[in-house]
Chain A
Amino acid sequence: MKKSLMVVCGTGIATSTIATGKIKSYLEKEGLLDNVKFLQSKISDEVGAIRNDDYDIVVSTTIVPNDIKDKVINGVPLLTGVGVQSVFDRIKSAL
């Protein structure tokens, strides 16, 4: 079964789009693209769902509430390029 990968940012428009694009090209390169169902949203709509473990993997480019911090991968390196491989590694190991 496909794993669900939710990418969230503040408004669900700009940075989550960039982050999703980066993750897609990485997974394509690894031949894993078909294993993943991509979702994109804004954090304010998703806090409850993340708390409930509704998604297999969550990547965020914005600040998330403390109590769900451990469930979320910080996706900012996908934007800045600094430390990007560790983000990819975390996603891959969760698949």
Chain B
Amino acid sequence: MLEDKVIILDFQAQDKEEALTILANQLVVSGAVKTTYPTAILKREKNFPTGLSTDSVGFAIPHTDAEHVIRQQIGLLRLQQPVEFLQMGDGQAIKVKMIFMLALTKPHEQLEMLQKLMGIFQDKKIVSMLLQESDPQLIISTLNSAGIV
């Protein structure tokens, strides 16, 4: 899921639209998604927000329909300063620090991986590593050993 190494660290974004566009465009460049993907991501985030606030930090897991995806991949963007997202489920404004953008073709076959990703958000040790580490390769290997492969 992380082979393309789409990892953007400490990006300064004005707002969520900018952050989502940068990350989605990187997935286009890597060849994991179609050129229709970035627009679809923005539209979907507007209609169905994907912010998740855990005990420690705010995450977002933007994703969209499989028709925009070529092969499964996850792109990660860490923000220099948190930006406002709306929370999934209740639409409340939350501050998001890390974006895990999901490009999924067959999510039903990825249940285990998706559940492990949620587990990572709740794991204080991994979260603090993700917030501080400056080497993308180490972030990838940490996520790999946590079951995101």
Binding site for B on A (CB under 8 A): 9-11, 13-15, 17-18, 21-22, 43, 60-63, 74-76, 79-82
Contact = CB atoms under 8 A, between A and B. Distances in A.
Contacts of A13: 63, 65-66, 104, 107-108
Interface stretch (B1-9, B45-53, B76-84, B130-138): B45-53
B91 A63 contact: yes
Interface stretch (B23-31, B113-121, B140-148): B113-121
Is the interface on chain B under 10, 10 to 19, 20 to 34, or 35 or more residues? Answer: 20 to 34
Contact of A21 (B55, B63, B102, B111): B111
Interface in B34-70: 44, 47-50, 52-55, 61, 63-66
Interface string B83-122: 0000111110000000000101001101100110010011
9 contacts: A13-B63, A13-B104, A13-B107, A14-B114, A22-B115, A63-B48, A63-B88, A80-B122, A81-B122
Contact of A81 (B89, B108, B118): B118
Nearest to B105: A13
A85 B85 CA distance: 26
A61 B121 CA distance: 17
